[in-house]
Amino acid sequence: MKILVPVKRVIDAYVSIRVKSDGSGVDTENVKMSLNPFCEIALEEAIRLKEAGTASEVILVSVGSADIDTVIRSGLAMGADRAIRVDADNDLEPLAIAKLLKHVVEQEQAGLVITGKQSIDGDNNQTGQMLAALLGWPQATFASEVALEGEGAKVTREIDGGLETIAISLPAVVTTDLRLNEPRYPTLPNIMKAKKKPLDVIALADTGVDVGKRQTVLNVSAPEARSAGIIVASVEELVDKLKNEAKAI
């Protein structure tokens, strides 16, 4: 069984974000870019399934221009077998990305798609669900444990009230949560091997997918600076401030 893992390049999680002065977006000039953390978790899970003998091949797929190839290679260094990049703009909307992923899934005849639940830049948490709907496949979101069993999978999900375990048939789409695993660090030999692994590029025109924008960003702004905390002398004073100043109760 082939496992397809969509990945995305984002601003590194440990970099301080700067908003452009005109409010049109986030400044990415001379900023460190990395593999989206949730994508790393998805890739790690796919690699573990292959190491356990339940998958035959792990394929990375990403959507964007050639400048994301470095991040794709880092995923190959983790242990993916090969990669596919759909040559397109780096800022496509979730629906457009889901349509392009559907094209690749059908082309590759993948038996399972494991993707991060969201990217840390847009935080949309939409692409995995949209992909499942477009394919007509079962989906299991926010996975903290995945076990393949015969023609299906048992997935433990993170929900508001705790954990939920569901059974789904394959093929399916699974989106990963933080507690699923701890991604490995690529070793130097694997980093060198990754340079020779196949990275195929698909032209956007060859997919026949409409990627037209349906949303317009009106403004991007940084959150207001938090005021310094204070020490109160009593519970009564705390309640008074929560009620009359913070309006929290």
pLDDT at residue 225, rounded to an integer = 82
pLDDT at residue 161, rounded to an integer = 86
Q: Where in the chain are the domains?
A: 2-215
**Which H/E stretch holds residue 69?**
helix 69-78
pLDDT at residue 249, rounded to an integer = 84
Place of tokens 């002398």: 233
CA–CA separation, 113 and 208 (whole Å): 21
Q: What is the pTM of this model?
A: 0.88
pLDDT values of the chain reduced to their tens digit, one per residue, 249 residues: 999 999 999 999 998 888 888 888 888 888 999 999 999 999 999 999 999 999 999 999 999 999 999 999 999 999 999 999 999 988 899 999 999 999 999 999 999 999 999 999 989 999 999 999 999 999 999 999 999 988 999 999 999 889 999 999 999 999 999 999 999 999 999 999 999 999 999 999 999 999 988 888 889 888 888 888 889 999 999 999 899 988 888
Contact between 129 and 99 under an 8 Å Cβ cutoff? The reply is no
pLDDT at residue 10, rounded to an integer = 94
pLDDT at residue 91, rounded to an integer = 85
Angle of CA points 31, 32, 38, to nearest 5°: 125
Pairing status of strand 2-6 against strand 57-64: parallel
CA–CA separation, 88 and 9 (whole Å): 13
If one counts every other C-beta atom within 10 angstroms of the C-beta of residue 44, the result is 20
How distant, in Å, are the alpha carbons of 33, 65, 84, 213 from that of 72? Answer: 11, 11, 9, 25
Class of 2-215 in CATH: alpha beta
Q: Which residues have a Cβ under 8 Å from the Cβ of 76 and sit 6 or more positions away?
A: 60, 82, 83, 194, 197, 199
Task: Give the three-class secondary structure for 58.
Answer: strand
pLDDT at residue 1, rounded to an integer = 92
